[in-house]
Amino acid sequence: MKIWQKNYDVNKIIEDFTIGKDTELDMSLAFYDVMGSLAHIAMLKDIHLINETEYNSLQAGLIAILEDIKKDKFSIEKGVEDIHSQVEIILTNELGDIGKKIHSGRSRNDQVLLDLKLFMRNEIQEIVGLTHNMFNRLINLSETYQSKLMPGYTHFQVAMPSSFGLWFGAYAESLSDDMVSLKAAYEIINQNPLGSAAGYGSSFPLNRQMTTDLLAFDSMNYNVVYAQMGRGKAEKVLANAIALIADTIGKLATDICLYMGQDFGFIGFPDEYTTGSSIMPHKKNPDVFELIRGKCNQIKAVSYEFSLLTTNLPAGYHRDMQLLKENLMNSIVTLKNCLYMSEFMLSGIKVNDNIVQKDKYKFLFSVEKVNQYVLKGMSFRDAYRKVGEMIENGSYQPDYEINHTHEGSIGNLCNEEIIKKMKAIIEYFSEKAEQVDQAFKGLSESKSS
């Protein structure tokens, strides 16, 4: 029995096609659906749509469901369409007509909007934690190897001296900027859609500010039509944010695949961190980083897929939007795994010594030679020509001493400044996490005597 069912049964083929994987995916939303319902019934009591006794019964029933979810004892029964239906059915079975009152003033449309926003809000916090771990690993490696030189490349050609401190630190700073985008996504997501119902509000005197406060949202999606238009937009902004993190991690994975190869030989990993070949006994393959690179590319495709799914949809709810859920959840899980594995692999990275002393890298230092002449009074263009002639006639000899002192260079990594950038973002998310924890704790504690 569907909560919307009339006096006829939907064709089984139609039902299976339209539900898809929703019941499976909705298990990830169960906790948030109950939290949203706890806020909703508190508001219904406040506007006198339910009385104190009804509220206490509904609250106790919802808290019992919440405990079952936490203990992995909750499931969506066969034939039940979604998480919203399952919760309402449980309450109705236990409380009778009181259970049916929980849906007053809302639609499954604003319920799923709310569930997804609460879910995304939490997942962003988990991504923040894993990204911060990765950032700290990169900063520590940057500090450890700040003076160890490596070749820098442009056009895949040997270019100028770099250092492992610069290389690791570059990806750390990239993550700090990626977190700014994640913060922006959080701010867009952290607006309450509850009360928009099916997209046109309700004739009940709903107190939307109350549910906004109870669920620790920064504000609400004020316009009820726009609240429904947010389905797809919220997913896209989060997909775009995690795509930036995936891009950083994927680029690092590509560097590592190159640098641990024999043609470069810059880095290595313990044997147990690599895989082998079925035919070539000498092979130690970077399979983990190749998979990370591939998975990160898949993540980057998701935001484009979401754009195609929602392009030219008019205002209001459309079933197309159901298709956003699976790929969003999968991409979040994939990114979290990639962040975890990247940080784990870097815990075992080995940086090789005396790389730039190899003869093939001697021209790395040609610009250093040019700059030395300039510092002695020669114009840059004349110095450039002079060193070019030395290279052509074979008289050039590299000077391995370098003196880079400006901000962000080999001798002045500015890691402390990069750490400050990340710290400001982490403090923002820590404050938001505390607000949500306090709000959820307040909602899930029984007030009945």
Mean pLDDT of each 10-residue bin along the chain, 449 residues long: 56 63 81 97 97 96 96 88 90 94 92 95 98 98 95 92 96 98 97 93 95 98 91 92 97 96 91 71 80 96 86 78 85 97 96 92 90 92 94 90 87 94 97 97 76
Q: Give tens-digit pLDDT for 6-37.
A: 556 666 666 666 666 667 778 899 999 999 99
Main-chain dihedrals φ then ψ at residue 379, nearest 5 degrees: -65, 155
Fold of the domain spanning 12-104: Fumarase C; Chain B, domain 1 (1.10.275)
Q: What is the DSSP string of 346-371?
A: HTT-EEPSS-TTSGGGGGGGHHHHHH
| Region(s) of the chain under CATH 1.10.275.10 | 12-104
CA dist 114 and 194 (Å) reads 6
CA dist 237 and 255 (Å) reads 28
**Residue 78 has what pLDDT?**
84
CATH, domain range 116-148+163-194+222-357: 1.20.200.10
**Residue 4 has what pLDDT?**
47
- 307-311-316-322 Cα dihedral, nearest 10 degrees: -50
| Region(s) of the chain under CATH 1.20.200.10 | 116-148+163-194+222-357
How many alpha carbons lie under 13 Å from residue 289 in its C-beta half-sphere? 26
Pair 74, 37: CB distance under 8 Å: no
Question: 311, 303, 305, 266: which is closest to 286 by C-alpha?
Answer: 266
Q: Give tens-digit pLDDT for 147-192.
A: 899 999 999 999 999 999 999 999 999 999 999 999 999 999 999 9
Pair 208, 195: CB distance under 8 Å: yes
Residues forming a β-bridge with 402: none
Q: In this structure, what token pair is assigned to residue 134?
A: 């990765």
Question: 183, 126, 164, 147: which is closest to 422 by C-alpha?
Answer: 183
Question: 25, 5, 7: which is closest to 15 by C-alpha?
Answer: 5
- In 23-165, DSSP assigns E strands to 149-154, 157-163
